[in-house]
Amino acid sequence: VVTSYAKDGNLRQYIRKKVGNFPWIERLITLKDIAKGLEIIHNSGYVHRDLHTGNILRHGSWTMISDLGLTWSQDSVSTDELFGVLEYMAPEILSGGQYSSASDIYSFAMIMYEIASGKIPFHH
């Protein structure tokens, strides 16, 4: 697997580095880019299943969704195994439900929270 070089690391690292100096317009553009990437994944009939700030790469003004290894067809997603980072996992997944575009959208909402607050959701 080959991944593009991301000089700014992942979004989690980027948020920590930019604490107090992450302009709102840049945050909104970042969220727009993630939403667009997720739209492409979903419109192609797949779900990511492991969307979190550690799997979003930054390179200058570019934002890219990475770690597509757990991406799976929406028609064949198994409920037998849990994938992902607990703090970003949709409640229905934790209750034994099936991964879906809706569970990816929940993960995206947790990313929105982290970008807005600088904190990982539900992290103690």
Annotated catalytic residues are 50
With helix as H, strand as E and coil as C, how does the chain read?
CCCCCCCCCEHHHHHHHCCCCCCHHHHHHHHHHHHHHHHHHHHCCEECCCCCHHHEEEECCEEEECCHHHCEECCCCCCCCCCCCHHHCCHHHHCCCCCCHHHHHHHHHHHHHHHHHCCCCCCC
**Separation CA 93–CA 22 (nearest Å):** 32
Q: Rounded to whole angstroms, how far apart are CA atoms 93 and 23?
A: 33
